[in-house]
Amino acid sequence: MILILVTFLISALLTLYFSRPNSVLQILAHPNERSLHSQPTPSTGGVAIVIALSPWHITMPEIFYLCLLLIFIISFIDDCRHVSILYRLMVHFIATCLLLWQGEFWLTDIILPGLSWTLPPFLQISLSCLFVIWMINLYNFMDGMDGFAAGMGIFGFGTLAILGAEHQLFMTLNLIIASAVAGFLVFNFPPARIFMGDTGASSLGFLAAALSLWGNREGIFPLWIALLIFSPFIVDATVTLLRRLLRGEKFWLAHKSHYYQRLVQIGWGHKRTVLWEYVLMAACSISALIAPSLSIEAQWTLLVGWCLSYIILIYLVNKL
């Protein structure tokens, strides 16, 4: 408990310091045609989050820390000065290969309620690699509204911690991450005084992917439960990407067509939109927590119910 509190305080104090104009580390996110904010805002909150995690790196597998460091460095450079998407993806690929190198965190089986398929070796590594790289980038795509990415971090890693309550190391690491994000959220909740930037979003995306694969391999939960937890981000980012691909747009460029961005633009504003997103995140987390205790039939009902719910939500946002 003390460790969690210390992490929260380090993150909150560093975030407060970085949010001030006289901070020694002053990187500003300037408004442009693709952003939702109207004033230049510090974007170094992710640095505060990662620094708050650093003293407790012994709680995570050594390879996690090395990969996180690589992603942190390229993302920090990108926050300071734009880095080509090609170079960023190259570093993401290298970090992912390092994570998966020894096969400890590969996705070896596709597990659904009452069903299991062992994947051929080629698909094990390729799907695992694709999953990690996509999670790194989709989390970054979804960090475009006050309090949004941080809220997903608290709900997401907090839920993973509860699911892994019998796995001390896994639970502790997730609680530390959630507390570091919570310290940042104090100053990022609408109206935000600071953003987490690519440094924070990409780092959290990597950790979400790595911990999901770790929990799956340890038998703590099947991967579909982790996907359900982070589905508010996964569904929005994936559907938006597919929609842009079908339209022939340059999907790698920043834009304002995610569903949460569209809600802000039609007049909901940051606070109303993020609070309703929190309701969605909470519902996903509760569903994930009760899923393991349900029968196979009930788990399938839950999965189908969420698929239908997202279809309805997408329809309603389009209608608005």
Burial code (b: 16+ CB inside 10 Å, e: under 16) for 43-57 equals bbbbbbbbbbbeebb
Tokens matching residue 61: 């597998």
**Kind and range of the H or E element at 225?**
helix 223-229
If you write DSSP's letter for every residue of 17-28 in order, what string do you get?
A: HHTSTT-SS--E
Does residue 137 have a known ligand-binding role? Answer: no
Give φ, ψ of 271 to 5 degrees.
Answer: -65, -50
Three-state secondary structure call for residue 41: strand
Give φ, ψ of 249 to 5 degrees.
Answer: -80, 160
CA distance 231 to 142: 12
Q: Who contacts 11 (Cβ-Cβ below 8 Å, separation ≥6)?
A: 48, 49, 51, 52, 179, 180, 181, 182, 183, 184
Q: Between helices 197-217 and 121-141, what is the axis angle to 10°?
A: 150
Does residue 198 have a known ligand-binding role? Answer: yes
**Kind and range of the H or E element at 115?**
strand 115-118
CA distance 42 to 29: 6
For 170, other C-beta atoms within 10 Å of its C-beta total 21
Annotated binding site for Mg(2+): 140, 198
